[in-house]
A and B are shown apart, each in its own frame.
Chain A
Amino acid sequence: MKFWLALFALLMGCSSVKENKTLSSNIHIDVEELKLDNGLTALIVSNPKLPIFSLQLFYKVGGKNEVPGITGASHFLEHMMFKGAKKYGSNTMDFIIEGSGGSTNAYTTNDQTVYYENLPSTELEKIIDIESDRMENLLLDLEAFNKEREVVLEERKMRYENSPRGQLYLEMMQTLYKGTPYGRSVIGDIPDLKSVTREQIYKYFKRFYAPNNATLVLVGDIDVYKAKAMIQEKFGKIPSSPSVEEAHKELKDEDFVPKWKVDQTVAKKGESPNPIFMLAFPTYKAGHIKGYALDVLSSIIGSGKSASLVNQYILIEKPIATSMYSAHQSLDKSGFFFIGGELVRGVKLPEFRQDLLKNLNGFCDSEVSERSIQKVKNNYLTGLYGGLDTNAGLGSFLGERQIVFNDWRFYKQELDMYEKVTVNDVKALCKETFVKPSVFVSVWNMHK
């Protein structure tokens, strides 16, 4: 037990929490930072609690960087990155990682692609070698490429064609961001997935997957000095590419924001016996000061059993909905506030939409108070603790901020901004947002 108390004390030294201060002074994280000449950023946090660590490699490339004809390229590459590189050949990476007790996966969003591994600490050098090998020398074997095309098509069916909720989200994004890079499907349009060639994907890979477009995060039982030397040795030799920003220099920020000026309503037929819906309003890109008040607003009206939408539509004698939620989604170049839910059969969608819009505007005065804002802050703190509990959670927290804001320390500003959010701020943003033109999408088996 003494052994563990000592380890806990060590851990407290590097990632500690003290109460009764501001949110940002509550969290202190000791991060060792490394910047290579080729532009790679590496963040390292030592946590010797257990002989394990997490590696996350963030690439600043996702669905918004694709062009018509190769939609889904970032996600397709997410699959192909596990299929072999020059040193670690066909179908060997997974075997090395899992054979040592580790696990690995990746995910792709509109703005980024993230590859991650959780491994025993004995495997640090090996995994840095693997990640650098596939960044520099991905094979993209043609036979594996064509086989994986089938897997990606099955994944798309699972997530969208066979899932009314997936259809709803896709339709909402395509309507909200019609004509912008955010209006494309991250997993890819079916014709593109069927026709995209190995050469097109290879060109895309060579263009974007370079050290200057990436952030490497290591958290866990790591010798920081040795880790830095390994990163320098393995990644230092990889040439940089023109930045992601340069690739899209003809696109201005306004090219990423919604272009329509009047309410959009879409009724899509899908295999859902109960109607499901999403209502979305355009807002601000990640880091915009107004975004923090919108985050607070989304929690007030849509999080927890005491949320406004829950009290209005669910916890009533004759429920109108079986679930309701809201969120504020910040993207790299845009943002949107959305409300969604599942309605009971018999509810008329046009009337429900009108009623919801009326109530949202009413919430601006009736639901925003000192107490409701404090409630959100309390919940934010418990959520934050939960998110930082594991090596992977802490790595994700730091990497996200580095890749989006170019500074992992940005979390302190974010916490300060949450701290400073006032009743007037939230009320003002509430009134500003809910009078904007909106997108209302529903999926139901009764739609034609």
Chain B
Amino acid sequence: MKNILSISLLLLLSTAAFGATFLDSVKRMKWGNLDVVWIEDSKFPRFNAAIYFQDGSLSDPFSGLTSGTFDQIASGTSKESQREISEFFDFYGVNLKNSVTHEYSVYTVQGLTKDIGPVMSKVCELFNDAQYPQKELFSYISRSKSQLKNLVTSHSSLADRIFRQISLIETPYAIPVEGTLATFDKLNPNGLKERLSELNHSKKVLYLTGPSEIFKLKEIIANKCKWTTGSVSEKLVLKKPSPQSAIFLVPVQGANQAQIRIGRYVIPDEIKGKYDHFSFLAGFLGGGFTSKLVQELRVKRGLTYSAGAYVSMQRDYGRAGIMTFSKNESAAEVISLVRDIFQDISAKKITPEEFKHQQGHQIGGFAFGFEETNAFLSQIMLYDHQGRNLQELVNFPDNIASLTPEALSQTNLEAFPWDRMTIVVVGDKSLEKSLSRIRPVRILKYKDYL
């Protein structure tokens, strides 16, 4: 115990120093009217350019439009075919990725620094001249629908998809970002081009890592991308989630395990000024082998292979939850145990040892967030999106060190009120009987959520 405390204090002193140093390495610039954030990284001759658009799937008139716009942006321009474009990027060893969330989208380009000129010029061409040819689009729609119909092969992914739709049903965040079987057919070249045009004019920020040669991008972006940047998107105000009275059981054929999701959505007012409290709680519950859930469910009882907890926020909403799985016959026991764990923490049944242990874990682990420059940059992007000051990142170890067990209990009470928790179980139909001892069971057909 004394040992853990002294380690924590030692780590606190060193982490405070390098946290501040890393913050100094974040350079913010204006290239014309485009905001640019750069972290120098000269370890290898490569670059990472992440274009943040403050525009996500909430703007979609139907599910999957923004995702389709990015997924198919390289399917053809007025000058080049999909095959020629793919060949170009693959030849240079370029990695292109896109990530669409409800509130924002990110298009990422990673490649070798020596190729930055031709590569980024080509990226600009895509944003200016993507044509979304019908033939390639038809193929994309066909593949997307086929893959979605096969989602049942991953019970975990199926549980995640249905849990979002059920737990956020009162909000626009319930709609799947990636599209549904009913909406893929609505995609058409004109709609995608219009959506791309909106994205080209939305508020955007360019996040960069790499050596100083990356400044070659300034001219390319100005002359070839011709992006304008719009104003900050309007905030969405949600009400708190309603009380829940049922367990949602999703039967799938041949399931010999039950996937369990328990959680709810969070509104910014609940978490404002207390991000670190919620982060600490998530780690205490489900961060690592020594977390409360893993110890109680796996180590003490052998009921599961893994259990995790999360509290994650975008700008106008967030989610708090638990994810685990068990044998079919243990599913009800696992859910009851999770409920008991919540109640115990809220009732301040936390030992000083486990509390200090978690403090040591989170303070000592702080440095790992800076090891990969790209991961650090992603963290900065999220802070910017949430409108948080980066100084909060530096203060994290201090904030964790000053937390008390009482604050943890209070945070748990606020984050996981049992009567507001949505519970979704994907598993065998026979689970209905055992689950009904916890709450009334509502049976859902998984196909209704594809």
Contact = CB atoms under 8 A, between A and B. Distances in A.
Interface stretch (A206-214, A230-238, A266-274, A404-412): A266-274
Interface residues of B, number: 78
A271 B93 contact: no
B186 interface: no
Interface in B320-352: 325-327
A305 B74 CA distance: 10
A362 interface: no
B7 A147 contact: no
Nearest to A374: B91
Contacts of B445: none
Nearest to B361: A98
Contact of B92 (A3, A344, A378, A389): A378
A304 B86 contact: yes
A94 B290 contact: yes
A155 B302 CA distance: 11
A165 interface: yes
A103 B357 CA distance: 13
B257 A162 contact: yes
B112 A381 contact: yes
Given A12-B43, A382-B111, A95 B357 contact: yes
A118 B289 contact: no
Contacts of B254: 271
A307 B91 CA distance: 11
B367 A50 contact: yes
Residue of A98, A104, A148, A155 with highest tally of chain B CB at under 10 A = A98
A154 B304 contact: yes
Contacts of A8: 40, 42-43
Given A122-B10, A271-B152, A4 B21 contact: yes
A389 B372 contact: yes
Interface stretch (B134-142, B377-385, B407-415, B430-438): B134-142
Contact of B361 (A101, A307, A310, A388): A101
Contacts of A12: 42-43
Residue of A11, A95, A104, A272 with highest tally of chain B CB at under 10 A = A95
B2 to A, nearest CB: 13
B82 A50 contact: no
Contacts, number: 209
Given A50-B367, A273-B149, A158 B325 contact: yes
B288 A305 contact: no
Nearest to B297: A151
B114 A19 contact: yes
A101 B364 contact: yes
A385 B40 CA distance: 16
Residue of B40, B43, B147, B301 with highest tally of chain A CB at under 10 A = B43
Given A272-B153, A378-B91, A100 B364 contact: yes
Contacts of A100: 4, 7, 11, 360-361, 364
Interface in A1-55: 1, 3-4, 8, 11-12, 15, 17, 19, 49-52
A155 B364 contact: no
B367 A52 contact: yes
Interface string B142-182: 11001101101111000000000000000000000000000
A342 B147 contact: yes
Please give me the 5 A-B residue pairs with the lowest Cβ-Cβ distance, nearest first: A101-B364, A150-B302, A378-B93, A305-B86, A101-B365
Given A305-B90, A311-B83, 6 more contacts: A4-B21, A51-B367, A158-B325, A306-B89, A322-B143, A381-B112
21 contacts: A1-B21, A12-B43, A17-B43, A95-B357, A98-B288, A98-B290, A99-B364, A100-B361, A100-B364, A147-B301, A150-B303, A154-B303, A272-B150, A305-B74, A306-B86, A314-B143, A317-B138, A318-B142, A344-B143, A382-B94, A382-B95
